[in-house]
Copies of this chain bind each other. A is one copy, B any other.
Amino acid sequence: MNEHPLIARRSLAAELVGRLRDMIIEGTLKAGDKISEPDLCDLFGVSRTPLREALKVLAAEGLVDLTPNRGSRVARIAPEAVEELFPIMGMLEALAGELACARLTAIDLARLEAMHAAMVGHWQRGEWVPYSALNRRIHEEIFRIAGNATLASLYQNLMVRIHAVRFVARKTPGRWAEAIEDHERMMAALRARDGAALSGLMREHLRHKADVVHEALRQLGAPEQG
């Protein structure tokens, strides 16, 4: 009768979904790569049944492309897909900001202030990696404060889909400064608990992010054929 079993037992398929998703996100499995069922079965020491179930789930998430009778490959994100995703993510961030403002506690604000200050510090010292990590955590924190689990998981899912642009999204100094400015304004809106303002700012922030990715993709040119 227990809703949440105390000892969480995951099925092999569920475990594989997580492992494979991580491998795709971190780049062990690269976009466009053919996924060999026998090889992966070997690697994980499982049979094809749970692996295939996992691949079906990842295909539903948009991380894997399945072609009947012709196997599966890691999904390749087309530049058009990126163009489609960013406006959506912008809207979801905007909503998150709005909701977060309405529910923001003093403790939440203090935590965000601290994270923001630390992030600015990383920027000043030119520490890209910790900056990125903290940046991501700030956005996650806003979604947490928003208190809409569906919204958060939806955003997560879309974020995962654009994993591949993570590497190309190297900001120029100017773009980096712009991002910091965006965040400064966002903090101001949060302090003022101005939901509408924060909403607009976050959408704009995402638009800037989209621009950065766009510039990077354009520089790289058309991705090689798989």
Interface size class of A (residues with CB under 8 A): 20 to 34
Complex CA–CA separation, A60 to B94 (angstroms): 25
CB–CB B99/A88 < 8 A:
no
Residues in B with CB closer than 8 Å to A69 are 9
Which of A24-32, A38-46, A146-154, A214-222 lines the interface with chain B?
A146-154
* A window 42-68: CB within 8 A of B: 49, 52-53, 56-57, 59-61, 67-68
Most-contacted residue by chain B among A13, A14, A56, A81 (CB, 10 A): A56
Minimal beta-carbon separation of A59 from chain B (angstroms): 8
Copies of this subunit: 2
* A window 61-89: CB within 8 A of B: 61, 67-69, 81, 84-85, 87-88
Q: Does A91 contact B (CB under 8 A)?
A: yes
With beta carbons under 8 angstroms apart, the residue of B57, B67, B84 that contacts A56 is B57
Residues in B with CB closer than 8 Å to A13 are 56
Residues in B with CB closer than 8 Å to A87 are 95, 99, 148, 151
* A window 1-26: CB within 8 A of B: 5, 9-11, 13-14
Minimal beta-carbon separation of A62 from chain B (angstroms): 9
A10-B68 CB under 8 A given contacts A52-B53, A92-B91, A151-B88: yes
With beta carbons under 8 angstroms apart, the residue of B53, B67, B81, B88 that contacts A154 is B88
With beta carbons under 8 angstroms apart, the residue of B9, B88, B149 that contacts A92 is B88
Complex CA–CA separation, A85 to B61 (angstroms): 18
12 A-B pairs besides A5-B67, A57-B60 with CB distance below 8 A are A52-B53, A56-B56, A57-B59, A81-B150, A84-B150, A84-B151, A87-B151, A88-B151, A91-B91, A91-B92, A91-B94, A154-B154
Return 20 A-B CB contacts under 8 Å, by A number: A9-B68, A9-B69, A10-B68, A14-B68, A53-B53, A53-B56, A56-B56, A56-B57, A57-B59, A57-B60, A60-B61, A81-B150, A84-B148, A84-B150, A87-B148, A88-B148, A88-B154, A91-B91, A91-B92, A91-B95
- Which 6 pairs between the two chains have the least Cβ-Cβ distance? A84-B150, A60-B60, A91-B91, A57-B60, A91-B95, A53-B56
